[in-house]
Chain A
Amino acid sequence: MGAVTLSGVAKRYGGTEVLRDINLSIEEGEFAILVGPSGCGKSTLLRMIAGLEEISGGDISIGGRRVNDLEPKDRDIAMVFQSYALYPHMTVADNMGFALKMARVDAAEKQARITRAAEMLGLTPYLDRYPRALSGGQRQRVAMGRAMVRDPAVFLFDEPLSNLDAKLRVQMRSEIRQTQARLGVTTVYVTHDQIEAMTMADRIIVMNGGRIEQVGTPLDLYDRPANRFVAEFIGSPAMNMIAVTDGRLPDGTALPLIAPAGAVTVGLRPEHLHPGPAGITVQVTGVEPTGAETLITATLAGQPITAALRDRVTVRPGDSLTLGFDPAHLHLFDAGSGQRISR
Chain B
Amino acid sequence: MKKTGLTRWVVLGLLVGLLALMLAPIALAVINAVKTAADYAARGPMALPRSFDLSGLRDFWSHVNFPLKLWNSLLLSGCAAVFGVLLSLLNAYAIGIGRVRAGRGILVLILMGIMIPQESLVYPLYYLTKSVGLFDSLWSVIIIFTVLQAAFGTYLLASVLSEFPRELLEAARVDGANRWQILWQVVFPILRPTLAVLATFFFIWTWNEFLLPLVLLASNDHQTISVAMGVLSGQYVSDPTTTAAAALLGILPTLIFFLIFQRTLTRGITVGAVK
Closest partner residue, chain A, to B190 (CB atom): A89
Please name the residue on chain B nearest to A47 by beta carbon: B170
Contacts known (A99-B176, A102-B177, A103-B176); A85 close to B190, Cβ less than 8 A: no
B190 touches A73 (CB 8 A): no
B189 touches A50 (CB 8 A): no
Contact A85 B181 (CB under 8 A): no
Q: Is A79 an interface residue (CB 8 A)?
A: yes
- B98 to chain A minimum Cβ distance, whole angstroms, is 15
When the two chains form their complex, are residues B168 and A102 in contact, meaning their CB atoms are under 8 A apart?
no
- Whether the pair B177, A87 counts as a contact (CB closer than 8 A) is no
B: contact size bracket: 10 to 19
A151 smallest CB distance to B (angstroms): 13
Judge whether A73 and B174 touch: CB under 8 Å: yes
CB proximity of B132 to chain A, nearest CB, Å: 40
- Chain A residues with CB under 8 A of B177: 73, 98, 102
Say yes or no: B175 contacts A81, CB within 8 Å: no
Is B165 in the interface zone, CB < 8 Å from A? yes
| Beta-carbon nearest neighbor of B168 in chain A | A85
* B171 and A79 contacting across the interface, CB-CB below 8 Å: yes
Residue A77, interface by CB 8 Å = yes
- Please state if A72 and B165 are interface contacts (CB–CB under 8 Å): no
CB distance from B179 to the nearest CB of A (A): 11
- Other A-B pairs beyond A87-B168, A88-B190, 15, CB < 8 Å: A52-B173, A71-B173, A73-B176, A79-B170, A81-B167, A82-B167, A83-B165, A85-B165, A85-B167, A87-B171, A98-B172, A98-B175, A98-B185, A102-B176, A103-B176
Q: Which residues of B contact A82 (CB under 8 A)?
A: 167
* B108 close to chain A: CB less than 8 A: no
10 A-B pairs whose Cβ atoms sit less than 8 Å apart in the complex: A52-B170, A73-B175, A79-B174, A82-B167, A85-B165, A87-B186, A87-B190, A102-B177, A103-B176, A150-B175
- Say how far B223's CB is from chain A's closest CB, in angstroms: 41
Chain B residue nearest in CB terms to A104: B176
CB distance from A88 to the nearest CB of B (A): 6
CB interface residues, A 51-109, toward B, < 8 Å = 51-52, 71-73, 77-79, 81-83, 85-89, 98-99, 102-103
Residues in A whose Cβ lies below 8 Å from that of B165 = 83, 85
A291-313 to B contact mask, C-beta < 8 Å, 1/0: 00000000000000000000000
Closest Cβ neighbor of A71 among chain B residues: B173
CB neighbours of B167 from chain A (8 A): 81-83, 85
A99–B173 touching, CB < 8 Å: no
Q: Chain B contact residues: over half helix, strand or loop, or mixed?
A: helix
Distance, CA A341 to CA B220, complexed state (A): 96
Q: How far is the CA of A78 from the CA of B175 in the complex (A)?
A: 8
**Shortest beta-carbon distance from B263 to chain A in Å:** 19
Residues of B within 8 A of A (CB): 165, 167-168, 170-177, 181, 185-186, 189-190
Residue pair A50, B175 in contact (C-beta under 8 Å)? no
Of all A-B residue pairs in the complex, the 6 with the closest CB atoms, nearest first, are A73-B176, A85-B171, A102-B176, A99-B175, A85-B167, A89-B189
Q: Identify which of B165, B172, B181 gathers the most chain A CB atoms within 10 Å of its CB.
A: B172
Q: Which residues of B lie under 8 Å from residue A150 when comparing CB positions?
A: 175
Residues of B contacting A81 in the complex (Cβ-Cβ under 8 angstroms): 167, 170-171
Docked-complex contact B170 and A85, CB < 8 angstroms: yes
Min CB distance A257 to B, Å, is 50
CA distance A146 to B172 in the complex (A): 11
- B175/A102 in contact, CB under 8 A: yes
- B174 contacts A78, C-beta separation under 8 Å: yes
Known: A82-B167, A87-B186, A89-B190. A73 touches B181 (CB 8 A): no
**In the complex, A99 Cα to B175 Cα: how many Å?**
4
Kindly provide the distance from the CB of A246 to the nearest chain B CB, expressed in whole angstroms. Answer: 54
Give chain A residues whose Cβ lies under 8 Å from the Cβ of B172.
87, 98
Q: B190 and A77: CB pair below 8 A?
A: no
Report the Cα distance A77→B171, complex, angstroms.
11
* Interchain CA distance A73-B165 in the complex, whole Å: 19
Q: In the complex, which residues of chain B have a beta carbon less than 8 angstroms from the beta carbon of A146?
A: 171, 175
Bitwise, A177-211 to B at CB < 8 A (1) or not (0) is 00000000000000000000000000000000000
Considering the complex, which residues of chain A in the window 111-166 have a beta carbon less than 8 Å from any beta carbon of chain B? 146, 150
- Among residues of B, the one whose C-beta sits closest to the C-beta of A143 is B171
Q: Once the chains are docked, how many angstroms separate the CA of A78 from the CA of B170?
A: 11
Bitwise interface map of A from 28 to 56 toward B, beta carbon under 8 Å scored 1, else 0? 00000000000000000000001110000
| Cβ distance A110 to chain B, nearest Cβ, rounded Å | 13
Among A85, A103, A150, the most chain B Cβ lie within 10 Å of the Cβ of A85
Residues of B within 8 A of A77 (CB): 174
Q: How far, in angstroms, from A52 to B170 measured CA to CA in the complex? A: 7
CA of A98 to CA of B168, assembled, Å: 12
User: What's the minimum C-beta distance from A14 to chain B, rounded to whole angstroms?
Assistant: 16
| B192 and chain A: residue at smallest CB distance | A89
Q: In the bound complex, how far is the Cα of B200 from the Cα of A185, in angstroms?
A: 50
Query: Which residue of the partner chain A has the closest CB to B177?
Result: A102
Residue in B closest to A74 when the chains form the complex, CB atoms? B176
